Amino acid sequence: MAEDKKILTSNFGAPVYNDQNSMTAGNPGPVLIQDVHLLEKLAHFDRERIPERVVHAKGAGAHGYFEVTNDVTRYTRAKFLSKVGKRTDLFARFSTVGGEKGSADAERDPRGFAVKFYTEDGNYDMVGNNTPVFFIRDPLKFPDFIHTQKRHPVTNLKDPDMFWDFLSLTPESIHQVTILFSDRGTPRNFRHMNGYSSHTFMWYNDKGEYFWVQYHFKTEQGIQNLTREEADRMKSTDPDHATRDLFDAIKRGEYPSWRLEVQIMTSEQAEKYRFDPFDITKVWPHADFPPIPVGRMVLNRNPENYFAEVEQAAFSPGNFVSGIGPSPDKMLQGRLFSYHDTHRHRLGPNYHLLPVNAPKAVAANNYQRDGFMSSGATAGGYPNYYPNSFGGPAPDPETESPAITVSGQAARQQYIHPNDDFVQAGDLYRKVMTESDRANLIGNIVSHLGNAQKRIQLRQTAIFYKADPDYGSRVAKGLGLSLKEVESLAQMIQEERAKATQ
Ligand code: NDP
């Protein structure tokens, strides 16, 4: 047989001599249970699907690198950021959030923006979105929020009442709702959008000084969005358009790139700042904390196998390296648990051994052992306990992160802060958006909110009104609602808030 001719084998390498005819007793059959090849083929097929991600199910990814362009060593000792010109391999995945694995890429939804840096200190994951803020600031609300974006438990249909009912009862969502219903809610594709950490993280340097930081990945392709009409057309003509666009661009050699910038805040500034720096529903205005350049991310290699490299890619905001740590942001704290937990559910307890998830520039070395699908790759043999006197791996005190002070009563505490939920959404509407942005925002809201019950429309429109009276009035007009009713509901929201903050 010619060298290059591949023989079909079983999963265990044994040659298969016929893959077209099941083994039967007589002709045409019945089929014999001793046809192990048939049984194995069917059994594997029956198990091809793994649970899809409960959020961010539909996505596309690519390999690339990060190159440092600016010295940030006074803020962080992260080794991959230690020198201008230093390059680190990475894998990035972009996604929609609420839809199933087969849903359309052009849906109005935030886009996930996750990057895994394979650093010499282990893997560092930046797991953000294309929006700088989020709908809610407490992880206890997250499962409820996501349920409202999914299908109705009775009809199995997307339900505008569920969607707007929750949002209108959760005024902290207004900032993100305003971004989502602007044309940034339907990016032209994954290449033409920014990525943000949304959360605040900690950076710390060699001296043990720490800083609060927010990440901004600015697209070098330029921001481009779809209008509502273009997105609707795209959903029916090419539901996978963003997945296709990313793959084809890289295949053509047009490598998409993003500039990484960070905003930095000292702990003294954080104590006095007018916004809560750990509230994910707020940004840090650029005028207060100007973005500082850090480096550049380039995606230059497509996956060879979608399932292995993209479907099984397991990011976690809890994957830190020395020099980077968490902040007290409550949503982040919830995610530190949920991501690893999801991967254990979807991929099993040894998901970190899969090639796309395993560290590449350093070996993992610890005393965790066994479990489903263990390949023995983590440290392997003896000793399997710590402390030991047989030369097993020991902790490195040099990598200790700075201590931060926390105080207060352990209780379920209502979030109260002098700055309200509406000011930044209002600023975005008034100061940042152009008149055509505003017109598209109103049109996008009216065409969606118009499908919800009238009492829900009123409650949500009062929230738009609280952000900015012109914003609320134009939505009210578009929906044919009484402005008087909207104003009196807005007044009630004001009074309820005043009572809560007394
Ligand atoms: P700035 O004028 O300094 O920044 C406004 C930023 O808003 C721009 O730099 C751009 O950020 C982003 N932006 C521009 N057009 C739109 C749009 N149509 N929809 C959403 N974002 C847009 O003002 P501030 O820093 O005081 O922020 C004002 C408002 O801008 C915020 O309330 C927030 O809604 C929004 N914003 C602020 C960001 C921040 O980190 N400060 C980041 C993104 C939005 P970019 O260059 O990142 O695209």
CATH number at residue 323: 2.40.180.10
Asked whether the predicted pLDDT for residue 459 surpasses 90, the reply is yes
Q: Give residue-wise pLDDT tens across range 104-119.
A: 999 999 999 999 999 9
Q: Is residue 150 part of a domain?
A: no
Mutate to test the pocket of ligand 1, among 214, 428, 440, 468 (most ligand atoms within 8 A of CB): 428
The single-letter DSSP state of residue 132 is S
Same domain, 77 and 201: yes
Same domain, 339 and 441: no
Residues of the chain above pLDDT 90, percent: 92
Same domain, 351 and 465: no
Domain boundary among 312, 328, 360: 360
Mean pLDDT of all residues belonging to the chain: 96
Same domain, 326 and 214: yes
pLDDT of residue 498: 80
Mean pLDDT for the stretch of residues 120-146: 98
Domain boundary among 337, 360, 383: 360
Range of the domain at 450: 418-500
3-state secondary structure of 234: helix
- Pocket lining: 132 vs ligand 1, CB cutoff 6 Å: yes
Select from 220, 281, 266 the least CA-distant residue to 404. Answer: 266
Q: Is residue 411 part of a domain?
A: no
Q: Are 193 and 452 in contact (CB under 8 A)?
A: no
Q: Are 360 and 118 in contact (CB under 8 A)?
A: yes
pLDDT of residue 418: 79
Q: Whose CA is closest to atom 40 on ligand 1?
A: 283
Same domain, 205 and 298: yes
Q: Are 298 and 257 in contact (CB under 8 A)?
A: yes
- Confidence category of residue 494, pLDDT binned at 50, 70, 90: confident
Q: How far is 243 from 61, CA to CA, in rounded Å?
A: 8
Asked whether the predicted pLDDT for residue 181 surpasses 80, the reply is yes
How many domains in the chain? 2
Domain boundary among 360, 386, 406: 360
Q: Give residue-wise pLDDT tens across range 220-251.
A: 999 999 999 999 999 999 999 999 999 999 99
Q: Any bridge partners for residue 474, and if so which?
A: none
Residue 491 tokens read as 């007044």
pLDDT of residue 59: 98
Tell me how far the alpha carbon of residue 501 is from its chain's centroid.
32
Same domain, 355 and 423: no
Mean pLDDT for the stretch of residues 198-211: 97
Same domain, 338 and 457: no
Mutate to test the pocket of ligand 1, among 182, 283, 441, 444 (most ligand atoms within 8 A of CB): 283
- Pocket lining: 120 vs ligand 1, CB cutoff 6 Å: no
pLDDT of residue 378: 63
Q: Whose CA is closest to atom 5 on ligand 1?
A: 432
Q: Is residue 31 part of a domain?
A: no
Residue located via tokens 């390949």: 375
The single-letter DSSP state of residue 317 is T
Q: Is residue 118 part of a domain?
A: yes
Going from the C-alpha of 370 to that of each of 315, 339, 375, 388, the distances in angstroms are 22, 21, 8, 19
Asked whether the predicted pLDDT for residue 103 surpasses 70, the reply is yes
Q: Give residue-wise pLDDT tens across range 313-358.
A: 999 999 999 999 999 999 999 999 999 999 999 999 999 999 999 9
Residues of the chain above pLDDT 70, percent: 98
Tell me the HSE value of 18 on the side-chain side, using a 13 A CA sphere. 7
Residue 129 a catalytic site member? yes
Residue 16 tokens read as 């298969």
Q: By CB neighbour count within 10 A (0-12 exposed, 13-18 middle, 19+ buried), where does 470 fall?
A: middle
pLDDT of residue 180: 98
Q: Is residue 135 part of a domain?
A: no
Tell me how far the alpha carbon of residue 23 is from its chain's centroid.
48
Residue 56 a catalytic site member? yes
Same domain, 439 and 345: no
pLDDT of residue 130: 98
Select from 149, 161, 147, 155 the least CA-distant residue to 454. Answer: 161
- Pocket lining: 68 vs ligand 1, CB cutoff 6 Å: no
pLDDT of residue 225: 98
Same domain, 343 and 250: yes
Q: What distance in angstroms lies between residue 437's CA and the mean position of ligand 1's atoms?
A: 13
- Pocket lining: 61 vs ligand 1, CB cutoff 6 Å: no
Same domain, 321 and 433: no
pLDDT of residue 380: 62
Q: Is residue 37 part of a domain?
A: no
Q: Catalytic: which of 123, 129, 302, 357?
A: 129
Asked whether the predicted pLDDT for residue 273 surpasses 60, the reply is yes
Same domain, 340 and 486: no
Same domain, 192 and 279: yes
Q: Is residue 136 part of a domain?
A: no
- Pocket lining: 192 vs ligand 1, CB cutoff 6 Å: no
Tell me the HSE value of 120 on the side-chain side, using a 13 A CA sphere. 9
Mean pLDDT for the stretch of residues 9-28: 97
Q: Is residue 41 part of a domain?
A: no
